[in-house]
Amino acid sequence: MLSRLLFALFVLLVTITCGYWLHGATGVWMAAVGVLAGFLFNDYEKGHRLARWLRLDDPKAEASLTGFWGELVDRIRRGYKTRDQLAVRNHLRLQEFLSAIQASPNGVLLLDPEGRIEWCNQTAAAHLGLHEQRDLGQHIVNLVRDPAFTRYVAQGDFSSEVIIEGRSHSLSQSLKLQAQLHPYGEDKKLLLTRDITARAQADQMRRDFVANVSHEIRTPLTVLGGFVETLQSLPLSAEERQKYLDLMAVQATRMQGLVSDLLTLSQLEGSPPPPVTESVDLKPLMAQVKSDALSLSAMQGDDVHPVHSLTFDLPDQLQLLGSRAEIHSAVSNLVNNAVRYTPVGGTIGVAWAMDDEGQALFSVKDNGVGIAAEHLPRLSERFYRVDRSRSRESGGTGLGLAITKHIAQRHGGSFHVQSTLGEGSCFSLAFPSQRVKWAAPGAPKPAL
């Protein structure tokens, strides 16, 4: 800047001197005006070129300016570069922020002051049945027609959340959402949605569990109370008194079995999986299961001879790694259930086998009345009964299959049911190859 000023003063001084020599005082004024006009025209021309370069909005374009104007162009070009770098950083930061919101398990919607959708992530779109692009600009109340949500938006108090129905892709299961609006900015709102279906189901299962336990205990307690009142208030013969005492013992045994199964379930759910250090020899275990099954079958007839045709088939050398008590409980539950629910004269087949993947498969197959298809997915639920009256008559607590499924899962296995109404059922357990052991090296491994 200083050099430009000195150069201008030098040119002006030379021009004035020449003008004075040629035309005197008039020449001085003419020379000064001419020099100033020349400098102004030159600056105007360069300013015009700078303005044209700025209109291009392209910092890489050549401005062809030198001196003061060239330095100004360089500074502007550096400003452009800094601006572009900052824009790139902000864009990357915005993309990372949006990616993080997209990865969130919660739904996020941004609403303008009128309640129209400005942006939403994929989770929110799935929760509420929206289209991420097509529904932008639409009013949220017009798209989410749940009456509870409409009232929530209208009341204007967003200090708490609201429970609404979401858009489920399954016809058999509804989606429960927890939604809450959070004001931000200039009268804008942030809508957050969270899937609480699992929590709602857990709460419902807890309520059902408490109700079922209360119902199962109330019945024998009512019977016991009635018998106690009878014994206390009526003169009874020794035979009548013994009859009532026997009936009371049956109800007490039933409650004891229920409490025992509840404790077993609690222990299974609260303890770590069984270690793979304990070997369970299945031959003596199944001998005990067979003896119990024959005794249970005989009790349904003349208390001496079984009333079912029972067959047991298992390899001699097969062992499992896990808890002997749990495995015994699981397999005996399936065998005893088959005996209880198979009509007199029916056939029950119990077998162990191996599949191609090295899994040990335990199956109990009967030719009883079978189970309708709609009941099969719920058979392992606690207290679920296909026929409540018949289940209680047979002495079941409604927890046996739930215990069996938990035991299979704790050993890394699975529980399966196949049944056809009027033809019979097949209950099976699959234990993974990591839990299978053979007592003797080279022992035969039968396959299905």
Q: What string of DSSP letters covers 32-64? A: HHHHHHHHHHHHHHHHHHHHHHHHHT-TTS---
3-state secondary structure of 345: coil
pTM over 0.75: no
Amino acid at 367: N
Asked if 194 and 177 count as a contact pair (C-beta separation under 8 A), the reply is yes
CATH match for 202-271 among 1.10.760.10, 1.10.287.130, 3.40.1080.10, 3.30.1330.40? 1.10.287.130
Distance CA 149, CA 191 (A): 11
Strand order in the sheet with 424-431: 309-313, 347-354, 360-366, 424-431, 414-420
| CATH code, residues 105-195 | 3.30.450.20
Q: Give the gyration radius of the chain's Cα atoms.
A: 44
Please state, in angstroms and rounded to a whole number, the distance separating the CA atoms of residues 205 and 209. Answer: 6
Residue-by-residue pLDDT tens, the chain, 448 positions: 555 555 556 555 656 566 555 555 665 566 566 656 665 666 666 666 666 666 666 655 555 666 666 667 677 777 778 888 888 888 888 788 778 888 888 999 999 999 999 999 989 998 998 988 899 999 999 999 889 999 999 988 898 999 998 887 665 567 889 999 999 988 899 999 999 988 888 787 778 777 777 777 887 888 888 888 888 888 888 888 888 888 888 888 878 878 887 888 777 777 788 888 888 999 899 999 999 898 888 887 665 567 888 898 877 788 999 999 899 999 999 999 899 888 888 999 999 998 888 899 999 999 988 888 888 888 887 777 776 555 455 555 678 888 899 999 999 999 999 998 888 999 999 999 999 887 655 545 544 3
Separation between Cα atoms, residue 164 and residue 146, nearest integer Å: 7
**What is the rounded CA–CA span in Å between residue 341 and residue 343?**
6
Domain boundaries, the chain: 2-98, 105-195, 202-271, 274-448
Task: Please name the fold of domain 274-448.
Answer: Heat Shock Protein 90 (3.30.565)
